[in-house]
A and B are shown apart, each in its own frame.
Chain A
């Protein structure tokens, strides 16, 4: 059965994941629709990063199913290239390639992985850097950029693969307060263009403003979820209440 855009772009069903004896995900289930922005929040160690990493097959899952545009991620014969063309991911620590300039960082994967034409890729990469307001830093190496600038290059690098879904794992957690905003602006613009986003964040104001739906995780399960207005105004579960009272 072929996937069509009116179906959820990501279907996560009863996902279980353990690292040795530690059970990190204990049956997570939810859908993400195309163009939707969802935020995952929850205490440290509740499995948020692990969940994102399962979606693009950085870690294998033990039980359950993850469908990305109808492609099963929990499949030994998974075509990882096909999956990762669809799913972009940005990390907390940017992880740019330090021996390449900002522009080269953005261009590398389309040229070497997708085998696209260099000139065409370069034009697109420059446009992407302009989009994250870093056109003038194209020739700079990551070591010469601030954290916020590096993170925006990382976003551009991921977008260069033309993904259908973007995963953001606490992308502002390592940044100075002044530079958090410029990264959030870049993500906001992306969301406004209709990019499907799964965002793990501790920025509650950002989640409230941007998310269509919020998921609260605790110890490997989704405790509560809902649209941000309901979620923040009247949390039902005591664990959610406690978490929000601590963080707000």
Chain B
């Protein structure tokens, strides 16, 4: 197994122990673990209350209250929010399965397989998510025919595939890094016991790196969830689309900030526990080593 050197910022690819802590300290902008802090939670809630109060005061006395308007639209927008979560779960599932296969191909003994999977990983890891999304909407057919069976590909499902591509590439790196973090001596002692390469990988190596792969994988899921409103840009009806529709139906500018803040709050409530959990897992892992 020839290691392929390449730069990475995924914690799992760094040596375990203190380095992991450093990596966490340095991981910068856009990292959900840095964004989702208790201070941000308080700030967000405060912003929501203030925006309601300020806009309430500015509103015409005759119009119904802002909270009443929010209450009226909340069920619809919440359905859209649930749809965003569905998209995130499906993209994550597809991306994880495909990414695991791609990651294992990256440690293949065949140089051609290794090279091709490395290139694929790098390509999708470094492409903007929105561009990938656009390409999937444009390039995928609206239906596929397999053995006389016509399977429709609705736009929302194309967007799921579009989001699963960058997830796949990132999972691929997590898997490759996890496997590489296991000492070669483990491979060697498995080899002396006559395990095949495949047995060694599935029974000895992967079970050991599962724990290490959990935090970056959860982190990736939080990032993905926050990226799901991108699908509204390519014309899929999600919580963003519905919020916009609600706002134009009401036609009241003072609703703008509170309504988007409400949606923001839901995303926050969903992603925050995941981010906390990731940090806790990472800490436990660092302490253990």
> What is the CB-to-nearest-CB distance from A165 to chain B, in angstroms, rounded to a whole number?
12
The answer to whether B207 touches A84, judged by C-beta atoms less than 8 angstroms apart, is no
Known: A95-B185, A97-B186, A99-B207. A112 touches B195 (CB 8 A): yes
Question: How many B residues, CB 8 Å from partner?
Answer: 15
The answer to whether B193 touches A108, judged by C-beta atoms less than 8 angstroms apart, is yes
Can you pick out 27 interface pairs between chain A and chain B where the beta carbons lie within 8 Å of each other? A56-B192, A58-B192, A81-B194, A84-B193, A87-B192, A89-B189, A89-B192, A91-B185, A91-B188, A91-B189, A93-B185, A95-B185, A95-B186, A97-B186, A98-B208, A99-B207, A108-B193, A108-B203, A109-B193, A109-B194, A112-B195, A112-B203, A113-B193, A113-B194, A113-B195, A157-B193, A158-B192
For the complex, is B37 an interface residue (Cβ under 8 Å from A)?
no
For the complex, is B31 an interface residue (Cβ under 8 Å from A)?
no
Given A89-B189, A157-B193, 18 additional A-B pairs, CB 8 A:
A56-B192, A58-B191, A87-B192, A91-B188, A91-B189, A93-B185, A95-B186, A95-B189, A97-B189, A97-B190, A108-B203, A109-B193, A109-B194, A109-B195, A113-B193, A113-B194, A113-B195, A113-B199
- A99 to B190 Cα, complex, angstroms: 13
For the complex, is B204 an interface residue (Cβ under 8 Å from A)?
yes
Known: A58-B191, A85-B194. A99 touches B208 (CB 8 A): yes
> What is the CB-to-nearest-CB distance from B197 to chain A, in angstroms, rounded to a whole number?
11
- A96 to B192 Cα, complex, angstroms: 12
The answer to whether A161 touches B185, judged by C-beta atoms less than 8 angstroms apart, is no
- A154 to B203 Cα, complex, angstroms: 17
Nearest CB in chain B to that of A95: its residue: B189
- A97 to B200 Cα, complex, angstroms: 11
Partner of B204, one of A85, A93, A97: A97
Q: Which residues of A have CB within 8 Å of B204?
A: 97
- A101 to B182 Cα, complex, angstroms: 18
Q: Which residues of A have CB within 8 Å of B199?
A: 112-113
> What is the CB-to-nearest-CB distance from B16 to chain A, in angstroms, rounded to a whole number?
13
- A93 to B204 Cα, complex, angstroms: 17
Q: Which residues of A have CB within 8 Å of B191?
A: 58, 84
Chain A, 88-132, CB within 8 A of any chain B CB: 88-89, 91, 93, 95-99, 108-109, 112-113
- A109 to B203 Cα, complex, angstroms: 11
0 or 1 for each of B173-201: is its CB under 8 Å from A? (1 = yes): 00000000000011011111111000100
- A81 to B192 Cα, complex, angstroms: 9
Q: Which 8 A-B pairs have the closest CB atoms?
A: A95-B189, A84-B194, A109-B193, A89-B192, A95-B185, A113-B194, A81-B194, A99-B207
Q: Which residues of B have CB within 8 Å of A95?
A: 185-186, 188-189
